[in-house]
Amino acid sequence: MLAEGAGLRLRDVGVWRSFSDASVQWWTPQAGNPPGGFEADNNNRVYVGASGEGFAAGAEYAMVYPETGVDLGAEIARLFATVLFEIAAGDWIAEIRQADGTVLWTASTSMAQAYQLFLDTPTGGTFKLGDGDSIETGALAYNASAAAIETALRSAYSDAGITVVADADFLITFPTGNAGNFQITDDALTYATTGAATCTQQAVDGVELDLTVADTGLVLALRKGSAGDGTAYVRLTGVVVQTLANATNSQVAEEILDTAELDGGAITESDLLANRAVWQKESRLQALQDMAQLGDGEASWLFAVYEAPQFGPWPTEANWELRRDDLSRWKVTWRRDAVRNAVRARLADGWMSDWLEDADSIARWGRREEVLELGDTTQAEALSLAQVYLAEKAEALAGLSLESDAYCRTPDGAIHSGYLMRAGDLVRLRDLIPDQDLLIRVAETRATAAGVEVIPAGQDDRLETILAVQEQQLQKAATQALAASGGGGGNTITGATTVHDPVTLGVGSAAELTLSGQVLTLAEMLTPGEHTAIGDGSPHHAAVTLNAAADTLLSLSGQQLGVDAQAANMVYAGPASGVAATPTFRALGASDLALYWTGTGIDDIGVTVIANDAGDVTKVLTVQYAVSEVTGTQRGGGVATLEPGGNVVLCDDGTDELTLTCAVDGSVTLARTAGTDTFSAALWMVWL
């Protein structure tokens, strides 16, 4: 929005300036092949790592900013980043320095390192901890307390800052790193059944940096301190490079106006950081309009140039009033071409969300798709941005065209020349829609022979501007929520700032899960340096164990399950009698065989061998039997068959007789049918 005169210079002059760059695309490995064992990349971070043998003293590799051919348009003023530096072996130095060699930050010891020690409930024995080389604690008892382990480690490492906290396991923290290849160096623990003690490195937060810079380039370097083997890495996340500190959208606007020699205006400070304020081959006017569209993160602002530039919130009270009778012509149109009702987000690493759809909009306007190409952000935030974008674009925007007669009114009804209305004014439309007043923001006015054409300010439909607005709204909402909950009061570190107590990963979190600031990341693949830091021999998950019941059947060796050897003639079954219980290996009992029966003392009263309906009465019962007299000497055995309604004599010495009877209902009884002696018998039966 501008009048004739100096403001026109903003239209045609391009901006070539990076005010604030929150991407990592302009960080690049230094020219030339890296020394052996080094690697570097800008895969959603700025990373330099090294692992190998025989490094020369002073061997170094680095990431540099910006890449060759990129002109930032001004010196770098500030660098924000979260840095994580870890040394697994050897002596190393990490540096952030200016292109001229001025060191801005350096470290020669690891950031805090944390390990999870899981003993798996031993019942006896001892264990030792150390670096697998020259440092080792004395023997610690199987039931050692956190305090005892802490005392032993502080003594062995000569570091009074080491802490040990007990939970279901132990969390061991080395506040300045230098844990080396920390591990269980001697495992003499015993278990009631089986068990396995483990020691796994945990991910830790980095340190937030806020560095003052005065150069056109930056370097992140990793250097070997002395000749020898070693493994280490340094990584930057949450990187923001600013040529204007602080780069709020209002300060960016002021800087552009100063460059165009349009200073001295009314610029309201927004306190809203514009971390994607990068323009190349774009007009100053478009850049200023983008900054106005960001506003204060909640509503867009006004940018206008008359005698002096104006940048700030739109007025809340109407300057002018137009009534329906004052308008010579007006119309409302719907911008169908701007509708988007099927939206998905895609990140630079190839991840893509599912389609988000607005069914009502699709039914009204037809399916209109858009894939949002997003840069450096998380999957969760990308999904949030896509949801907000869909909500704002699912319905067509109204376009309003107004032509007024040569006059307008002030809010009190007094008539004035219509040519007094100008960009930046707020106009009330009275009764354009019956019984409603509309407030419109004037983006531009055009004088005609018949009167004045008023062009309202509409919502910006440039994708990058809309996404930037949404991103700032999300950030502002998060900050306000933190303030409302009483957040803040965190520790202050020299050269670093935290806005709340540090967020940490819980005990037992996998090493592949990392936390950087407010971003939680699950690595798809570990780099060689990260894998070495975890340890090739260490499990990357909690130890698998067998409970007491499973241990009777299975064996566990590392990651492999086996089957235990068993004695001959044993079966895996529930209890021989009583209530249900966990299966065990045992010998078969009589009750395990459904049609096996044995008994003694059988007399003329008889016993039931098979209950009613226990067999199939349409078949024949085949019986293998062994019978003997209790007092007498008669005994024998054999095989007999009988049908329902029949019987068979199993034993007869001429005086005493034992008979097996099958009733018509399928029940089977055994009774003495002659004599006085009693019998013992064993029967194996099957229906055929």
pLDDT, one tens digit per residue, over 604-613 is 998 988 887 5
Task: Give start and end residues of each alpha helix (H) in 260-301.
Answer: 284-294
The CA distance from 402 to 438, in Å, is 13
Structure tokens at 665: 């209902």
The predicted structure's pLDDT at residue 55? 95
Structure tokens at 616: 């199939």
Q: Would you give the end-to-end CA distance of the chain in angstroms?
A: 101
The predicted structure's pLDDT at residue 27? 95
Residue 502 has pLDDT above 70, yes or no: no
The CA distance from 168 to 185, in Å, is 21
The predicted structure's pLDDT at residue 402? 67
Which tens digits make up the pLDDT trace of 410-434? 888 888 887 888 878 888 888 766 6
Pairing mode of beta strands 301-305, 309-313: antiparallel
The predicted structure's pLDDT at residue 383? 80
What SS3 state is found at 319? Answer: coil
Q: Mean pLDDT over residues 365-386, rounded?
A: 77
Q: Mean pLDDT over residues 529-557, rounded?
A: 65
Quote the mean pLDDT of the chain: 80
The single-letter code of the amino acid at 674 is A
Which tens digits make up the pLDDT trace of 125-145? 999 999 888 899 999 999 999
Please state which of the ranges 234-238, 370-374, 396-400 shows the lowest mean pLDDT: 396-400
Q: Mean pLDDT over residues 28-50, rounded?
A: 92
Looking at the DSSP bridge assignments, the partners of residue 327 are 404
The CA distance from 615 to 404, in Å, is 102
The predicted structure's pLDDT at residue 2? 44
Structure tokens at 610: 């098979």
Q: Which residue has the higher pLDDT, 579 or 497?
A: 579
The CA distance from 635 to 658, in Å, is 11
Torsion region of 179: left, alpha or beta (phi above 0 gives left; psi -120 to 50 gives alpha)? alpha
Q: How confident is the model at residue 487 (pLDDT cuts 50, 70, 90)?
A: very low
281 near 14, Cβ under 8 Å?
A: yes
Please state which of the ranges 44-48, 217-221, 578-582 shows the lowest mean pLDDT: 578-582
The predicted structure's pLDDT at residue 142? 94
Report which of 247, 257, 250, 272 is spatially closest to residue 305, judged by C-alpha positions. 257
Which tens digits make up the pLDDT trace of 340-364? 899 998 887 788 899 999 999 888 8
Percent of the chain with pLDDT over 70: 79
Which tens digits make up the pLDDT trace of 312-344? 888 888 888 888 777 776 655 556 677 889 999
Q: How confident is the model at residue 490 (pLDDT cuts 50, 70, 90)?
A: very low
Torsion region of 534: left, alpha or beta (phi above 0 gives left; psi -120 to 50 gives alpha)? alpha
Backbone angles phi, psi at 459, to 5 degrees: -65, 140
The single-letter code of the amino acid at 145 is S
The predicted structure's pLDDT at residue 285? 84
Q: Is the peptide bond before 246 cis (omega within 30 degrees of 0)?
A: yes
- Sorted by sequence, the CB contacts under 8 Å of residue 309 that are 6+ apart come out as 7, 257, 262, 265, 266, 267, 303
Q: Which residue has the higher pLDDT, 56 or 579?
A: 56
Residue 485 has pLDDT above 80, yes or no: no
Name the percent of the chain in helix, strand, coil, to the closest 5.
15, 40, 45
Q: How confident is the model at residue 509 (pLDDT cuts 50, 70, 90)?
A: low
Which DSSP letter does residue 326 get?
G
Which DSSP letter does residue 158 get?
T
Backbone angles phi, psi at 326, to 5 degrees: -80, -10
Gyration radius (Cα) of the chain, Å: 42
Q: Mean pLDDT over residues 466-476, rounded?
A: 57
Residue 444, Cβ density class (10 Å: 0-12 exposed, 13-18 middle, ≥19 buried): middle
The CA distance from 416 to 131, in Å, is 86
- Asked whether the CA dihedral 424, 427, 432, 435 is positive or negative, the reply is positive
The set of long-range contacts for 377-381, using a CB threshold of 8 Å and a minimum separation of 24, is 377/347, 377/471, 378/519, 378/520, 378/521, 379/347, 379/351, 379/353, 381/471, 381/474
* Greatest Cα pair distance in the chain: 142
Residue 447, Cβ density class (10 Å: 0-12 exposed, 13-18 middle, ≥19 buried): exposed
Q: Count Cα neighbours of 288 within 13 Å in the Cβ-side half-sphere.
A: 29
Q: How confident is the model at residue 96 (pLDDT cuts 50, 70, 90)?
A: very high
Q: How confident is the model at residue 472 (pLDDT cuts 50, 70, 90)?
A: low
The CA distance from 307 to 324, in Å, is 32
Chain mean position to CA 454: 50
The predicted structure's pLDDT at residue 407? 78
Give CA separation, 571 vs 182, 299, 575, in Å: 46, 76, 11
Q: Mean pLDDT over residues 450-459, rounded?
A: 72
310 near 265, Cβ under 8 Å?
A: yes
Which tens digits make up the pLDDT trace of 617-660? 667 888 889 999 998 888 888 888 888 888 999 998 889 999 99
The predicted structure's pLDDT at residue 530? 53
The predicted structure's pLDDT at residue 237? 87
What SS3 state is found at 119? Answer: coil
The predicted structure's pLDDT at residue 33? 87
Pairing mode of beta strands 163-166, 103-107: unpaired
The CA distance from 473 to 315, in Å, is 21
The predicted structure's pLDDT at residue 518? 58
Residue 551 has pLDDT above 60, yes or no: yes
Which DSSP letter does residue 677 get?
-
Length reported for the chain: 688
Report which of 597, 620, 607 is spatially closest to residue 659, judged by C-alpha positions. 607
Q: Mean pLDDT over residues 567-581, rounded?
A: 81
Which tens digits make up the pLDDT trace of 229-273? 999 999 998 898 999 888 888 888 888 888 888 876 788 998 887
